Structure formats: C-alpha cells, structure tokens
Amino acid sequence: MNVFRKAEDMQAYSLKKRKEGKSIGFVPTMGYLHEGHIHLIRKARQTDDIVVLSIFVNPLQFGPSEDFERYPRDEKRDLEMAEQEKVDAVFIPDTKEMYPGPMSIQLTVRDRTDVLCGKSREGHFDGVATVLTKLFHLTQPNRAYFGLKDAQQVAVVDALIHDLNFPIELVPVPTVREEDGLAKSSRNVYLNGEERKQAPYLFKALEHGRFLVRNGVNNRETIINEVRNFIKEHTHGKIDYVDLLTYPELKPLDEIDERVILAAAVYFDNARLIDNLIFHPDGELTYDLK
C-alpha cells in the first residue's frame, strides 16, 4: 500500500494510474475509520481499478467553537484498516501540506447550505467544497464515494461537481447502521452509556416519520412535529433540527409530491448526532441522486 504525505507525490501517482488507463475510486475521510468508511472502500473496490483513501481532518470545515482539536485521530489503526481492505494508496497530508499559506482563492457554497446542518455550521460547507476541490485535483478520481449519513454534504458535492464540471461520478452510499439502527459515526465514541441507549431513537423517530408518509400523511409540518415529539419522548438530547425538504435541492415543500429527505440532528452531552432518510412520496427509500 502506498502512503503519500506530500500533495505532489499523491498527484503524480494518480496521474500515472490514469495514464495507464486505470480507473480511480476515491474515498475522502477525516480518519478514525469505522465500518461506514470500510463500506465506502468496499464499494470503490467493487467498481474501480485503484482505490485511493484520504485521511485529513480539514480545519476549514470546523467552526471556531467546534471540535477540530478534539476530533478523534488514530493514524496507525487507520492505516492498518486501509491495508486490510487492500486500499492502493492512502493520502495523509498534514495541515501545512494542504494549506501552505493564506489562500487567494475562496470557494463559497451559496445554495443547499442554509438548512439542516449548514444552518448552525456557518462556513462548514465552504470548507468542505474547498478541501474536496483540492483533493479531487490531487487524486484524479473517476468516481468519488460519499456516505449518505451526511446527505447535505452529498447534495453540496453534487452541486460542486456539476457547477464546476468535474469529470467525476458522485456515488452516494447508504448509511451503515449498528444492529439497533444507530448510524455509524466517529463521534459515537463520545456517547455515555445512557446516551448510547437513547441514540437509536433518532433513527426510529425518522422511521416513524416515514411510516406516516407511507400511510398517507403528506403534510410537512405534521410529520416534522411527530418526529420531534418522538425524539423528545425517547431521549434527553436537545433537538438541533428536524426538517423535511426536497432532495438534493433541499427546498421546503408543503406537501410531499417528490423525493424528500427527512433529517434530524440532536445534541447529547458530548456529541451531536445526525441522521436522515431519503424517500419517494410513497415512502419508498432511495439512495439515488438521479
């Protein structure tokens, strides 16, 4: 397995593989790999000749009061897991390698960001768009794999790729869950015992909302309120948001007559958890952006 710490080396490798006619599947991560990431790697492995994994905790996408310093890191374990999954190349730069000085060029995401997580994380998706643009240029992927747990990120990457004409296919991959339904996340380690028991009710609340749609309820407000009440009833977490929007455009709608996302974020003592479901007006789940 190739481990690159220099942008130049990563790019030279990718360009060489593309020139050899190999397809590259790219899985960008912030490390501390879990089964969700492994799932993305395996998806890439199924389709592409070469799998490139990046591990980079991107300071640009953390707000000043967020957990950049505290974000969990375990490089040794990450590299072992990548090796085990037969990843071809890992790109693991330090901050200075990615941002050697102040940037003259700024990327701003003007749409799909003033809702859901974007609402309380100002500038977060600008940082995501910036680092992905750099990483796409360094890893030259044919396909980029993203988990649908962060469905808003997938919507933003969809806009990034289309607006700037990246020659990349975005592959959204369904959320991987624990047996009790809790979405896998690096931040789950911050939950205490009691919180860990309550956390699956975030998913159950969304499933309750989807159940209502499946049974003919199609009013947005009703569904949002039902989901909120369900979360309040079963957890002591503080709700950041529950929302129901079109997907991937993330626009509000009164009645559900097209593909939607039902999403929620809840603060526990030391972790903010997010989850979502994407489904058609009949309640049928979907993982497709087309």
Binding site members for (R)-pantoate: 61, 153
Q: Which two tokens stand for residue 154?
A: 């997938």
What type of residue sits at position 134? K
Using CB under 8 A, pick the residue from 66, 111, 169, 240 that binds a copy of itself.
111
H/E run at residue 29: strand 24-29
Binding residues for a copy of itself, rule CB under 8 A, total 31
Nearer to a copy of itself, 109 or 223 (CB): 109
**Residue 53 near residue 90, CB atoms below 8 Å:** yes
Give CA–CA dist 235/59, Å, rounded. Answer: 31
Nearer to a copy of itself, 121 or 208 (CB): 121
Tell me which residues in 123-142 interact with a copy of itself (CB under 8 A): 129, 133-134, 137-138, 140
Q: Does 110 bind a copy of itself (CB under 8 A)?
A: yes
Q: Does 15 bind a copy of itself (CB under 8 A)?
A: yes
Give CA–CA dist 17/4, Å, rounded. Answer: 15
Binding residues: 30-37, 61, 147-150, 153, 176, 184-187
Q: Where are the alpha helices (DSSP H) in 121-219?
A: 124-139, 151-163, 193-198, 200-214
* Residue 280 annotated in active site: no
- Please, which residues have CB within 8 angstroms of residue 187's CB and are 6 or more apart in sequence? 72, 271, 272, 273
Which residues form the catalytic set? 37
Question: Which residues form the interface with a copy of itself (CB under 8 A)?
Answer: 7, 11, 15, 18-19, 21, 102-112, 129, 133-134, 137-138, 140, 156, 159-160, 163-167
